[in-house]
Structure 1
Amino acid sequence: MTSTTLSTYTSYLIVNRDMKASLERVASQGTVANDTKYYEENIGKVKSVEDFLGDYRLYSYAMKAHGLGEMTYAKAYMRKVLDSDLTDSSSFANRLSDKRYAEFAAAFNFGSGTKTAQTSVQENDVVQAYKDSFSKEEDNIKSEVAYYNNAIGSVTSVDQLVSNSRLKTYVLDAFGLDTTYTSSSYLKQVLTSDTDNPASFANQTGNPKFIALAKAFNFKADGTVDGSKAQTDAQKQSLQLDYIYNKSTYPSDILADANKTYWDTKIASITNVDDLVNDSRMVKYLGTAFNVKVQFSSTIKSFLINDNAAEILGYKDIKAMFNFQSDGTLATDTNAQTADQISATDKAYAKNFQVDQQGAVDKAVANYQTRISSVTDLDDFLKSNTKDDDKSNDDVTEVWDVALRAYGIDPDETTMTKLRQVLSSDADDPRSYVNQLKDARYLSLNKAFNFDDKGKVEAPLLAQSEGVTDDYASGYKSQKTKLLTGADKKTASSKADTEIEYFRTQMETITTAKQFLADKRLVSFVLEAKGIDPKSVKSEDLKKMFASDLKDPGSFVNTQQNSVYAEIVASFNFDAKGNLSSEPVGTVQQRGDVLATVNGYAQQTLEEQQGDANQGVRLALYFKREAPSITSAYSILSDTALFQFFKTTFSLSDYISNMDTDQQAAMIKKYIDFDKLQEPDYVDKLLKRFTALYDEANRKTGSASLSILQSTSTTRISADTMLAVAQLSAR
């Protein structure tokens, strides 16, 4: 060395003083910029491992970026790495002692995310919304009943009734009539009909519902009220019972009360068994109260009037609850049921109805959860329940009915064709079918499922892709357990698992950057997974980062000294407005992993170029980068470059490599305080010592002593790697 030559430490400081600027200079160099541009423009076109390995320019760029440049030649080996299932601890990449390979595989999505019709969160949301819909229905019915009963008292003409859309709808719903196509003029003619006149409008319709409707009100031919009220209290109550019955889609408490009132009123007025069996509502009440399984009115009639039939069918006790004679009539001054019999029937109904009430919901939910787990496409989702050899599923609520009800969609207002178009639409495309409907209910339905444009199940759109979430989970656990052993490591691992479960679950619910940033537990998890102390980052700065334009070099996040912040922001699938979007997801590599690869390539190139002038600077930069991840003496022993750094730093002879591995590890522990490798001051102290001794060694030898770094930045091909490559090459 001449006197004008800068010391290794000075050269290192020049580069490291503003690492961001140093990396930007390298990234702007012609060859580097061109290679990076090619990678960014073409990685999204890759569809398979074969495509990736077949494009040497892409493949070699990624290998170098991840510190695996020396293994670029071993394509068969790397194919096995990329094909590994990282969720399987016994997979090829996970079995390798060198974790760079698993990390490389994790940077790509060749395994893709798990394809599922719904995530657990999506399923739970639908089920909860389905359950909530029943109480909402009951509240809506109560609200409409209260409104009608309050308003009808002030109605003095038929025009007042039909001009009030809410009253009109109530009346039509009570009789199960079409609220869309029944015009006000038509309804007015029905309501002003004289039902005693066969030629009246209502009678001429031939529809018994319209005839009953005309009888439910007291309007004269000119539309005025015939008497003091449009309805008597009895008429109003009868209409109310019909409204509740027709608007109820499940056995609610309000329906139970209405059915009880209906039964008590009707049973007191009937004079013949035929009046009962011809009233479907009464038959249903009877069936629920006494667990009657038969459905035919003739059979029910037979056991209510015939002792032998009741004996044969096992319904003697039920017959005893009624007072019909053998011809179906009632004796003089005898009611169909006494007050005690009515009371007993009502109690039996209330008990069984309560069971049916919960059972109906539970059965629908159980069927939904069973069916949705096996759905692979829209055909599976939209097909009807089928029968098997043991039981009929005909009375089970269809899967799509559960979903439709959850989002307030009446099955009668839609079609299978419409549902297919809705569920296969791209919610992110403003021109898609579901967005053109301009109906929030259908958009919510679309987002509750994961079907592609062909109707096939696909991986769900999440705030972070599944592979990225796995990567953060792995990084978090590594950060929380490194340097720990025994019981301490077990305890830390268990606590980490709790946080990982929370992270995975909550990330399925996050749809905006604002939501994510509002959950301090999630934010801390993400930062810690990347080795950043959450206390060192201001909330306001994080908000600015997530609001930054990643494509703008001058944006807030891109001007941070630590490029990891940009990688974190890029790892989320948020658009420019912070909303969940499929645009940033990418194909085989997610946006954040592309950025990390580009940053890694610049870092590796910087270290190589510095090594061309001074191998000591290259090794110093490498140690500075790796120091936070060094957890034990074996981390150093398994990395040739780090081991050389150690030997140089403490002036140890190369002969120590001949010692027993455990002896070497013991020696490293004696010199290195692994707990302090997270502290910049301690790392800087080691770097100063290394560079001084490196320069001293090279003044004596006159040549670079660290030839280990002359060909690669991190020469550490482990024994298991070499063996696997050899085996693959021999095939």
Structure 2
Amino acid sequence: MVSTYLTFDLVNRDILKSLKQISGQTTVANDTKYYQDNIGKVKSVDEFLDNYRLYSYAMTAHGLDEMIYAKAFMKQVLESDLGDENSFANRLTDDRYKNFAASFNFASSASDTAVAQSGGQMDELFETYDQTIAAQEEQIEDDTRYFKVMLSETGNIKNVDEFLRNERLRNYLFTAYGIDGRYYNYTAIRGVLVSDPNDPASYYNTAYGGNLDQYNAAKTEDTELTERLSLNGTVPQLQNSITLGQEKKADLESQIAAKQAELDNGGDAAVLQPQINDLQTQLTATNNLLQEDQNKLTTQQTRLDELNARLVPVDQTAQRRAELAEIINGTKADAAYLGVMKALAEDFNFNADGTVPVGGAVTEDKLEAIIAGFFNKQTRVTHAEAMFNQQLFEEKIATATNVTDITSDPRLLKYIKVAFNLDKATVVKSTIEQILTSDLDDPNSYANKFGANNPQYLELAKAFNFNTDGTVAAGDAQTTLQSSRTRDYYMSRWDDKQESDYEKAVRFYKLDLAAVKSLNDFLSSDAQTSYEFALTAVGIDPSSVSKLTVKNALKSDLSDPNSYIYKLKDERFLTLARLFNFSKDGEVTAPVLAQSNSAITNVAKDYILRQTRFLEGDELEAKKKKAQEEAKYYTDTIQRIDSRDELLADRKLLDILLISKGIDPATITNDVLNKAFNSDLSDPNSFVNSQPDKRLAQIVGTFNFDAKGDVDRSTAGRAQNGGEVAATQSLYVRQLLETQQGEENAGVRLALYFQRMADTITDPYVILGDEALMEFFRITFSLPSEIGNMEVDQQAKLIEKKLDLKDLADPEKLEKLVKRFTIMYDIENDTSATASAASILGGSSGGISADTLWALSQIRMG
């Protein structure tokens, strides 16, 4: 009889060949093909359990064939939430059940897990938003620096054509002036830039100036006609009011004279004098009102006379306004564009031939104004704008002679409000002026009166030196120390409001998305804020794209290269679609991850277990805390992995994954990982399947990447992801190999099984919980079968005494242990195999004494 060791060695020496022989058997090949073709059609756990061929195949693959009959039991296993320590599968001591549940998606489909966005997708959206904003800010800063250098007096632009053909400069210019680049007319813009606005024959004036002047003149005349109509009503009213006032004045004067005469003739002063005083008060008020009306009449009559001298006769007003309306309405749609053309003509100084004059294409002040205009068109303040504001403020404050030099400029007013934490709607221009002109030595000054409840008022007042009338000597508005303090305040606060608004937006988004139950919900006006936030996150301007385009993109099948989204040829839409879970019908679906939630949970748990096993005391606590942090990194990050390339780019993620499977990351290069994850698991000759260590194939099998390396979203709602299907097939063939070998020699099956499971043994109780592993241990160390009657803790101590579990991670020591088992198995089960066992150990074909056999049985792996 061939010894157990030799049979095992024959199978194990070329395990790939052995597995290939099994997979090539007709029944195995047919069952495997059936599983591969049909498991993807299963939509529920009941449907899976009712298909005996699929169900038994998977159970066999996981070594649970003896439990095929227990469908009710296995249903509870499959529906267990592995993230819940108290779930059914997690309460079972046999890890095979947990692993079985992890290979399927029934736990998520058993409850309503369809969401517009998962937590991981939402976190990725926020991360993408931050990255998009950071990239935009960096681009704005670079573009501003570039524009300023190129347009400065010593810039590199030599003529207008060079300027306009520079797309980067042109786009900056168009943004600053609000020009839509989609309708860019090179000839028109060039003609305006080289025009002298004071020359009637210039391109600007012949093409645009006349129309704009006519439009502005028509608007002015129409306004004046409307004003005259109003004056024609108010002037007579004032005249009537004055007439009535004069009558009242005469009456009051008459009454006063009568009362005074009565008093002079001996009347009762106690009665008459108060009456005279009251009449005198009325007379004074009447005189004041008369004077006000007279002043108004004088002003309005003068204005009316002026208008009558210039405008058409009053009776022609309606006809003239109709004519003007025709002119205004005919040009109104183009008025803004005409205004931009005028601004370009006035702001730029290109010579008529297009060359740049001495002094540059624009003055320094105009260049500053253009940059300010560019910043005004941005949706948020950037660091570049903050620096611009800082420089502008320091330039202006150095020459300011009145408080209005600062407060009359909206940008500088905003600068002050932000710097001193007064950027509120209730703090208006007059408030700032009153604070800046407060005398801090006067307890009744504005800053002192309201500073007790608003310390920022006092802080602002102390930072400037304006007099109470608002004046200040040039250069004295701030000392160096005051300027430095103001600068520090502004640079530390310029984005505080934006950060606060962002935090509010994130909170609102989370609440809003929870209410989204369909794509139509997301596109509705109720979710407009969240819709715009999501598009902005991926760099899409919501105003630049129709909701129909977004709708079709989000309904696209990302696994179909011919779907709508790929026709857009825009990575931003692809990024957006990957962050949501909408079906082709616009319904929310369960998110499809690179790894199933169950697999992710298992990796995290196994990682912590492997990093902490065999440790005790403080060392255990410290290592456990660190392992938990790293496991959290894995669970958080893996949910945002959208492609194989992203996974392979994160070595930390991969190292955690390797360690969770008991693989030393130092032994696996990036090249090996790249080849493994690019392997076809269904091909027995692929790189990963040809590796001696099958754990790599198991790892690859838990991932759900398609042939291109993207997450295979076509598997949404399926019982198993693609990787798990391949992993199940691989396990099935391995199980059959062990089973078929066991039919000839049970020892070989035990040896193969222990070899496969050794990596999962983390403590003695794993062995105690598995009859096959316990039998391997008992035979290896020639222990009596009665040890099973010992208390469990005593058995655990015995295992620790006989077997150093750390040795199981050492391939050489594991091989030595399996070799020992095969020998001891033959000794226990077939005395005729003793000679073969002895020859393996001793190298001769001679006999072996009882003492030697006893000594062999006591060998401890070391």
Q: Does TM, normalized by the shorter one, top 0.5?
A: yes
Q: Which residue number corresponds to residue 210 of structure 2?
A: 200
Residue of structure 1 aligned with 2:121, choices 118, 122, 128: 118
- Cα deviation for residue 694 of structure 1 reads 0.9
1:555 alignment counterpart? 686
Deviations 1:221-264 (A, max 9, x none): 99899999765555455445444544574163244147538966
- Match in the other structure for 2:830: 695
TM-score, length-normalised on structure 2?
Answer: 0.64
8 A Cα contact 2:751 2:818, kept in partner: no
Q: Which runs of 5+ in 1 are unaligned?
A: 326-334, 387-396, 700-731
Indicate which of 711, 731, 747 corresponds to 1:600.
Answer: 731
Letter in 1 for 2:830: D
Is 1:104 aligned to residue 114 of structure 2?
A: no
Contact in 1 for aligned 2:62/2:100 (Cα 8 Å): yes
Deviations 1:557-601 (A, max 9, x none): 233344433333333344445565546888322333223322332
Question: C-alpha offsets along residues 469-525 of structure 1, whole Å, 9 cap, x if unaligned?
Answer: 322333333444445556665455445334434444554565665665565554444
CA distance in 1, matches of 2:169, 2:748: 85
Instruction: Give the AA of the match of 2:104.
Output: F
**Please, what is the CA RMSD of the aligned residues?**
5.0
Distance 1:631 1:226 in 2: 81
Answer whether contact 2:121 2:640 (CA < 8 A) is retained: no
Structure 1 segment 210-609 matched on structure 2, within 5 A:
210-217=341-348, 231-246=362-377, 249-250=380-381, 252-257=385-390, 260=393, 291=422, 339=474, 343=478, 353-354=490-491, 357-374=494-511, 375-376=513-514, 377=516, 399=530, 404-405=535-536, 407-447=538-578, 453=584, 462-483=593-614, 489-490=620-621, 492-505=623-636, 507=638, 513=644, 516-517=647-648, 521-534=652-665, 537=668, 540-576=671-707, 578=709, 582=713, 587-609=718-740
Q: 1:148 aligns with which of 139, 151, 156?
A: 151
Q: What are the within-5 Å matches in structure 2 for residues 156-175 of structure 1?
A: 169-175=171-177
Secondary structure (helix, strand or coil) at the match of 1:572 reads coil
Letter in 2 for 1:85: D
Question: Given the superposition, is the C-alpha separation of residues 426 and 347 from structure 1 closer, same or farther in structure 2, using an over 3 Å criterion?
Answer: farther
Alpha carbons of 1:302 and 1:9: their partners in 2 closer, same or farther (altered >3 Å)? closer
Match of 1:57 among 53, 58, 63: 53
Aligned equivalent of 2:178, options 169, 176, 193 = 176
Task: Kindly state the Cα deviation for residue 63 of structure 1 after the two structures are TM-superposed.
Answer: 1.5
**Pair 1:281–1:57, CA change in 2 (3 A):** same
2:154 and 2:584 mapped to 1: Cα distance? 49
Report the residue type matching 1:133 in the other structure.
Answer: Q
The worse-fitting range, judged by mean Cα deviation, of 430-439 and 260-269 is 260-269
Counterpart for residue 685 of structure 1? 820
Contact 2:101 2:598 in 1 (8 A): no
Distance (whole Å) between structure 2 residues aligned to residue 165 and residue 14 of structure 1: 71
Tell me how far 1:88 sits from its aligned partner.
Answer: 1.0
State the 1:61 CA deviation: 1.6
Contact 2:538-2:572 at 8 Å conserved across structures? yes
**d(CA) in 1 for partners of 2:502, 2:432:** 36
Which stretch shifts more, 539-548 or 102-111?
A: 539-548
Quick one: structure 1 residues 22 and 232, their matched pair in 2 at CA, closer, same or farther if it must change by over 3 Å?
closer
Which amino acid counterpart does residue 687 of structure 1 have in structure 2? T
Quote the offset at 1:685 in angstroms. Answer: 0.6
TM-score, normalised via structure 1 length? 0.74
The structure-2 alpha-carbon separation of the partners of 1:288 and 1:120, relative to structure 1 and needing over 3 Å to count, comes to closer
Corresponding position of 1:138: 141
Give the 3 Å change call, closer, same or farther, for CA 584–348 of structure 1 in structure 2: same
CA distance in 1, matches of 2:643, 2:341: 52
Q: Please report how far the alpha carbon of residue 17 of structure 1 lies from its aligned counterpart in structure 2 after TM superposition.
A: 4.2
Alignment of 1:709-728 (within 5 A): none
Contact 2:589–2:716 (CA<8 Å) still a contact in 1? no
Shift of 1:689: 0.6
CA contact (8 A) 1:517 1:543 kept: yes
Larger Rg: 2
Output the amino acid matched with 1:370: R
| Deviation at residue 47 of structure 1 after TM alignment | 1.8
**Partner residue in 1 for 2:281:** none
Deviations 1:436-459 (A, max 9, x none): 222344444444556555566666
Which AA in structure 1 matches 2:727? A
Partner letter of residue 19 of structure 1?
A: I
Mapped to 2, the partners of 1:282 and 1:413 lie a distance apart of 32
Partners of 2:531 and 2:714 in 1: how far apart? 29
Paired letter, 1:471: N
Q: Which has the higher helix share?
A: 2
Question: Deviation at 1:431?
Answer: 3.2
- CA displacement at 1:429 relative to structure 2: 3.9
Alpha-carbon distance change, 399 to 609 in structure 1, aligned in 2, over 3 angstroms: same
Identify if the C-alpha distance between structure 1 residues 42 and 167 changes in structure 2 by more than 3 Å, giving closer, same or farther.
closer
Range with bigger deviation, 528-537 or 341-350: 341-350
The number of residues matched between the two structures is 672
Q: CA deviation at 1:174?
A: 3.5
- SS class of match (2:119): coil
Partner residue in 2 for 1:26: 22
State the distance in 1 between where 2:653 and 2:639 align: 12
> Within 1, Cα distance between the matches of 2:578 and 2:697?
28
CA distance in 2, matches of 1:556, 1:106: 25
Q: Percent identity?
A: 36
Tell me the CA shift for residue 346 of structure 1. 8.4
Residue by residue, what CA displacement relative to the aligned partner does 1:612-639 show, whole Å, maximum 9, x if unpaired?
Answer: 4444444444444444544555444433
Q: Distance in 1 between matches of 2:90 and 2:34?
A: 30
Structure 2 unmatched ranges of 5 or more: 217-334, 439-443, 452-456, 835-862
Q: 1:292 and 1:520 mapped to 2: Cα distance?
A: 45
Distance in 1 separating the partners of 2:155 and 2:211:
23
**Partners of 1:385 and 1:340 in 2: CA distance:** 53
Question: Conserved in 1, the CA contact under 8 Å of 2:606 and 2:661?
Answer: yes
Partner of residue 38, structure 1:
34
Q: What's the CA shift for 1:182?
A: 5.2
| Equivalent residue, structure 2, for 1:721 | none
Q: Given the superposition, is the C-alpha separation of residues 615 and 109 from structure 1 closer, same or farther in structure 2, using an over 3 Å criterion?
A: same
Amino acid in the other structure paired with 1:588 = A
Match of 1:94 in 2: 90
Quick one: which amino acid aligns to residue 100 of structure 2? F
1:21 partner letter:
K
- Pick closer, same or farther for the CA change 1:266–1:603 going to 2, 3 Å: same
Match of 1:76 in 2: 72
CA contact (8 A) 1:126 1:406 kept: yes
Whether contact under 8 Å (2:705, 2:711) holds in the other structure is: yes
